[in-house]
Structures are given as structure tokens and as C-alpha cells.
């Protein structure tokens, strides 16, 4: 039997949190504000902000969050790009219904991400 989408989101977040290289304490508090960042600033603008803030530091919490979001969107076949610039371009060109789907999927996935990050499952 196939896992539900909620189970897939949960498993994805656990897998991604196990791999992060930025300081976990920083990411824990940062991940809690990601849904608000998207809702207050807009989906595309929030993603552009993450890339801009992470510029020059591939292990930053901003780029870590951007990579997790973009990987989820690729896994869900909403976008096909894997380079930051191409991801942002594809998102900006999505039809409205696909753009809203991408935002909705991201927000649903981020709920799992922030819950697991705050559970401190990967703390040493």
C-alpha cells in the first residue's frame, strides 16, 4: 500500500533534517518562521530572499531551507530545475494554479519540517 502524501512529507523532512550541515540550533528557530515568511512576503519573493540571504555561504540556514523546499517541489514534479536561478525562473513562470499548488505543498511540508526540527531528533 502506498504512503499518504502526509506520510511522504514527514519521511522527506526527516531525511532532509538528517543531512543538513548548517548549525542545527540556528535552523531550528529559523524553520519555525518559514511559513510566516512565505505568507507575509509571497511565495516567490520568500524563495528569492532565501537565495539572496544565503549568497556566499552554501551551508547557511537560508540556502538549506531553499534546497529543502526546491527538492520537495522537484520530487512532487511541480518544477524540474535543480539550479537556484532556474528554480526561481520556473516558479515565476508557473501558471497561477500551479504556483498556488507549489505554495500550498511547500507550506504543508514546512509544517513537518518545523515540527521535526523543534523535536531535536538530530541533536548530539
CATH value at residue 68 = 1.10.520.30
Whether 71 is covered by a domain: the verdict is yes
pTM of the model: 0.92
Mean pLDDT of the chain: 91
For residue 12, count other CB atoms closer than 10 A to its CB. 18
- Percent of the chain whose predicted confidence (pLDDT) is above 90: 73
Q: Which residue segment(s) compose the domain that 107 sits in?
A: 5-118
Whether 124 is covered by a domain: the verdict is no
Instruction: State the burial class of residue 92 (Cβ atoms within 10 Å of its Cβ: 0-12, 13-18, 19+).
Output: exposed
b/e burial code for range 56-73 (CB count within 10 A of at least 16 → b): eeeebbbbbbbbbbbbbb
Whether 106 is covered by a domain: the verdict is yes
- CA 102/CA 43 separation, integer angstroms: 9
pLDDT at residue 124 is higher than 60 = no
- CA 117/CA 53 separation, integer angstroms: 21
How many structural domains does the chain have? 1
Q: Check residues 3 and 108 and name the one with the higher pLDDT.
A: 108
Whether 37 is covered by a domain: the verdict is yes
pLDDT-derived band at 122, boundaries 50, 70, 90: low
pLDDT-derived band at 58, boundaries 50, 70, 90: confident
Would you say how long the chain is, in residues?
Answer: 124
81-93 mean pLDDT: 91
Amino acid at each position: 500500500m502506498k504512503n499518504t502524501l502526509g506520510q511522504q512529507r514527514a519521511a522527506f523532512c526527516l531525511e532532509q533534517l538528517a543531512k543538513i550541515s548548517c548549525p542545527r540550533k540556528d535552523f531550528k528557530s529559523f524553520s519555525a518562521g518559514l511559513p510566516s515568511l512565505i505568507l507575509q512576503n509571497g511565495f516567490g519573493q520568500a524563495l528569492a530572499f532565501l537565495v539572496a540571504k544565503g549568497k556566499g555561504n552554501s551551508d547557511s540556514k537560508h540556502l538549506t531551507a531553499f534546497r529543502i523546499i526546491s527538492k520537495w517541489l522537484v520530487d512532487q514534479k511541480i518544477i524540474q530545475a535543480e539550479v537556484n536561478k532556474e528554480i526561481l525562473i520556473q516558479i515565476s513562470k508557473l501558471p497561477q494554479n500551479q504556483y498556488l499548488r507549489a505554495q500550498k505543498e511547500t507550506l504543508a511540508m514546512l509544517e513537518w519540517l518545523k515540527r521535526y526540527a523543534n523535536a531535536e531528533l538530530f541533536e548530539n
